Structure 1
Amino acid sequence: MLKAAFPGVAAVDANLLTSVVHAGLVDDVGVRRPGPVDRGPPELTEVSRGALPAHFHERDAAGAEAAASSALELLRAQPGEQRPLLVSTQASVDLARARLLRRELDGAYEALVPVFDVPVEWRGAGTLERLDAARRELCHPDFQTASAAADLGEQIEDFTATAAAHKLSASAPLAIEC
C-alpha cells in the first residue's frame, strides 16, 4: 500500500517505508500527508510560516534566533518517535542562519552539528535551500579572514554535494546514458 504513495519507484525498501511513516510523510496506508510545517503543535506552524521568514526577510537576527529556538524547544517537547526529522533539521539550520546574522560563527556551527549527521536520503530541498542561505551569510566581509568560516562553508558544500549526488544516483538514467 505504501508503494502507492511513491509512483514510479520499482523497489521500495521496507525500512525506508517505515521511516517515512514514522517521519509523518505518509500514513500507514500510503496517503501523503501535508508538508513538514503542517504537522506538530500549532505554535510550530505559526513560527515556520510567519514569524521566522519575516525575521529573515528583515534581517532581524534576534527575532530569527528566538523563533528558531522556540521551534526547536517545541520539537524537543515531543516524544522522539513523533519528532519529525525534516522539521528538526530545518529548524537547526534556521538557528544557525540567525546566529550567522549576528556574526556568531561558533554558535552557528553548534546549531549545524546535528544537521551534518542527517542521513543522505533525508536531505531534502527545504534543508538544502536553508543551508544555501547560511552559506551565503558566510560570504559576509566579517568572515573573510576566519578560517573557521571557510571550514564551515566547506562542510555545507560537502553536505549539499552528497545530497545532490544521492538524488542523481537515485534518478532514472539520463538520455545520453541509454
Structure 2
Amino acid sequence: MEKGYQDIIFQTDILRLDSVRNALLTRYPMHWVVRTGSAYDRAYGSLEDLSQERIVTFSRNSRPHQDILNLLHSANIVSPRINCVNSASVITRLVSDGFGIGAMPAALVVGELAQGTLTLVDGVPLPSVMDIVARWRTGAGMERVEDIVSLTREVVGEFVAQLPAGYRLDMN
C-alpha cells in the first residue's frame, strides 16, 4: 500500500500515513482454537501448560501477535513456540490440519466450529480482542474505493449481527 501497489487492505492494524485512511470495521474476541479430536483437543490447566504447545497466530509484530507475546511474557513464559502467519485462512488450514493451537477470533472459523471440525479451548486466558481495519489510499481516482469501504461496513455489520454472542463484541 505504501508503494502504491494496493488500493485497499483489510487487516488487524491501523497504518498512520497522510495518504492513507483507516476505518475500524469490527472487533472480535480472541479464542484458542484446535482441531477436534487432535492431540491439542484437551483441557489445559494453565496458560503455561498451553504455551508448551505450538501456537499459530497472525503476522509477526501485528497487534494480535504482540498481544499474545505480552500475555505470555507477563506470565513469565519467555520461550513460547509461536508460528506467525499473514492470513486467517492459512491459520485456519494449519489448525484444521492439526498443526497447533490457533490464537484467533472464533468468528473467523464459525463454520468449522458449527461443523465440529474445530473446537474452542476454554479456561485459558487470551488477549481480549482483535480489530479488523480497512486501510485505503486517498486521492484523485480513489472514489470507488470509498464505495467499497462503505459496502464492506454493511457486509461486516450483517455478518457480525448473525454471530453467536460469544463470537462478537458490541461496537457501540
| TM-score with structure 1 setting the length | 0.27
Higher RCO (CA-CA < 8 Å; seq separation 6+)? 2
The structure with the greater share of residues assigned to helix is 1
| TM-score with structure 2 setting the length | 0.27
